[in-house]
Structure 1
């Protein structure tokens, strides 16, 4: 009798529900980004992302995208404006999801702080137990 393996299914979407996704398996990364663009996009002192391979992704409805800098794209709901994703155009096999876009964000843990040179110490919640990177691409 063959053995079956179950993988965790993670679901999420935007505030109004017009953009929905499901992604399976374990994330390949999780980062707190302190860059100014992520702060503007999220309206927060730090922005947290969870990275998954796109092969494990299914969209019920896709976000619109904005090219915030060359070959860097931010996905958002065209109806409510919620920020949902970030992607680097040179790496189409991976997609970063905003932690807050998951229906249940509790399984995920950050692995890095990015853009530490621009971090706001009073708001960053900087975890000394994970890797700190001064800048990121």
Structure 2
């Protein structure tokens, strides 16, 4: 498949000041239940789609916040929409928030992260998705 045949996925923030385009298919996806993702999203769980970092092009880069050493969350500097999560340990990938895509329907999460910190309302987690606890 040539680069021009690669699927293109677009998205951006709530106000439209930050837009992105992604070529190709995701390499993963997850539902994260950690407290930092809950705070960052204002939601009970955060869903991300993982792509190679070099597959993403931005019309304006999001602003980064180092939420813990070597871990960065990107957001729109105008409206504050949370858009990304990335780690310096794996600089070759970037996680984009599912809700930031113009059409999120092609994507499916393949795992749950930080199940031990999941809110009680998420106790019946989809058994068809892998569960990983990255800490206790």
TM-score range, shorter chain: over 0.9
Q: State yes or no: 1:30 paired with 2:34.
A: no
Moved more, 109-118 or 119-128: 119-128
Query: Can you give the 5+ residue segments of structure 2 that lack an aligned partner in the other structure?
Result: none
Query: Can you give the 5+ residue segments of structure 1 that lack an aligned partner in the other structure?
Result: none
Equivalent position of 1:111 in the other structure: 110
Q: Assess, with a 3 A threshold, how the Cα gap between structure 1 residues 84 and 124 changes in structure 2: closer, same or farther.
A: farther
Give distance in 1, aligned partners of 2:47 and 2:123: 11
Give distance in 2, aligned partners of 1:112 and 1:82: 24
Equivalent position of 2:133 in the other structure: 134
Q: Assess, with a 3 A threshold, how the Cα gap between structure 1 residues 61 and 124 changes in structure 2: closer, same or farther.
A: farther
Equivalent position of 1:87 in the other structure: 86
Give distance in 1, aligned partners of 2:124 and 2:82: 21
Runs of 4+ in 1 over 6 A off after TM superposition: none
TM-score by length of 1: 0.93
TM-score by length of 2: 0.93
Equivalent position of 1:16 in the other structure: 15
Q: 1:35-46 counterparts in 2 under 5 A?
A: 35-46=34-45
Q: Assess, with a 3 A threshold, how the Cα gap between structure 1 residues 77 and 47 changes in structure 2: closer, same or farther.
A: same
Give distance in 2, aligned partners of 1:61 and 1:82: 14
Alignment root-mean-square deviation, CA: 1.5
Shift of 1:121: 2.9
Q: Assess, with a 3 A threshold, how the Cα gap between structure 1 residues 72 and 124 changes in structure 2: closer, same or farther.
A: farther
Give distance in 1, aligned partners of 2:123 and 2:101: 21
